[in-house]
Amino acid sequence: MRLRMTRLRRNGDSFVHLSNYQTFQITATRVQVIETEEDEDLNEIIQQVQEIENERNLTLLRHEVLESLQDTFTCTGVNWTLDGSNCYKTIPGSTEDGQVSCSNQDPTATLMLAPTHTIANHVSSLFSSEKIWIGLRFCNGSEWIWDDGSSGSATWGSTPILPQLCIGVDFDGTMHDYYCYNTHGLICQKEMNVTGHQCGPGWLIDGTQCYKKLRHSDFGVTFSDARTLCRNENADVMMPQSQSEANLIVNRFDCGTYCWVGITDFDADHIYTWEDGTEESQANLYFRVPEPNHRDLDYICAYIQDGLLYNGDCTATERVICEKD
């Protein structure tokens, strides 16, 4: 448990009291812990001691302070590791069932997926050589994002194997799965203005829909850019519901070899989502056999082992970390 901390109060030259519960004895060379209470926050205690050291030009033997405090903070239960004022334990599990598994270990325990690279490295050092799921995920079919929202470089133990989560169609209208950072042609789609039967300058009517080619495949864009370009036109990336419809559109508008379709599966669950939010089962889509052939491994989650990152299938059983105060 943690207790709110108050300002350091000094009692003469020999002692420093922390929150009326923690007493340090200052000698000529180091700071020594005299007494403590079990509900103190170890990390804050260490920080406070370091401030004393800096103020008085003392040499703090940090491992001695840590050892003396570790006797105060204890973890109940079997195989829990004390780190700071929290307890950690690794158990078999996946990112999907981790919270249930942790609750089975202790009702107060929560699943801890390290939300930053720094925290991930720290927990990896606590449990050497174990494969531990962390809060790093492959998002939007194009980049790795930590749970705290940061991206940046990561030290991979091997080149990530990535699923192809975006879709394009070729000249005969059949679907292919692609990496979302590939560049392909672009046709936007929007509903016709029923009142005026108008689409706007540069748009062509086909049935009740309006279409506009913004990019030929020779000058293609990534799927993310395709979305942006179409939304700037108050439209979506085209959404043909069948192979025959796709074939008519790409040939009429000369999209080129390949053209983006407005449907994705960013969470790699084999349920695709059209740009208008409608969900579609993979079985109902018009892929060319044997595609989608890069979907047998949905490697959009990451684990850490010996300080190096690897990506893996989110449903695989590795180790998850449970945390409790």
- Summarize the confidence of residues 108-137 as an average pLDDT: 93
User: Is residue 190 a contact partner of residue 234, using CB atoms and an 8 Å limit?
Assistant: yes
Classify residue 35: in a domain, yes or no.
Answer: yes
- In the chain, pLDDT over 90 holds for what percent of residues? 53
Classify residue 87: in a domain, yes or no.
Answer: yes
Please indicate, yes or no, whether residues 245 and 310 belong to a single structural domain of this protein: no
Please indicate, yes or no, whether residues 172 and 275 belong to a single structural domain of this protein: yes
Give the model confidence (pLDDT) of 194-221 as tens digits.
555 688 888 988 878 899 999 999 999 9
Cβ-in-10-Å burial (0-12, 13-18, 19+) of 121 comes to middle
Please indicate, yes or no, whether residues 178 and 278 belong to a single structural domain of this protein: yes
**Residues near 276 by Cβ (< 8 Å), separated by ≥ 6?**
236, 239, 262
Classify residue 31: in a domain, yes or no.
Answer: yes
CB count in 10 Å sphere of residue 91: 15
Please indicate, yes or no, whether residues 251 and 305 belong to a single structural domain of this protein: no
Classify residue 198: in a domain, yes or no.
Answer: yes
Question: Quick check: bond before 201 cis, omega within 30?
Answer: no
Number of compact structural domains in the chain: 3
- Summarize the confidence of residues 109-114 as an average pLDDT: 94
* CATH code for the domain of 149: 3.10.100.10
Please indicate, yes or no, whether residues 189 and 97 belong to a single structural domain of this protein: no
Question: Can you give the pLDDT at residue 320?
Answer: 94
Q: Domain range holding 210? A: 166-284
Classify residue 33: in a domain, yes or no.
Answer: yes
Give the model confidence (pLDDT) of 246-297 as tens digits.
999 999 998 889 999 999 999 888 899 999 999 999 899 999 998 888 766 6
Please indicate, yes or no, whether residues 86 and 64 belong to a single structural domain of this protein: no
Split at pLDDT 50, 70, 90, the class of 191 is confident
Classify residue 294: in a domain, yes or no.
Answer: no
Please indicate, yes or no, whether residues 180 and 251 belong to a single structural domain of this protein: yes
Q: Which of 59-63, 101-105, 126-130, 198-202 has the lowest mean pLDDT?
A: 59-63
Q: How far apart are CA 29 and CA 14, in angstroms?
A: 13
Classify residue 315: in a domain, yes or no.
Answer: yes
Please indicate, yes or no, whether residues 16 and 55 belong to a single structural domain of this protein: yes
Please indicate, yes or no, whether residues 178 and 152 belong to a single structural domain of this protein: no
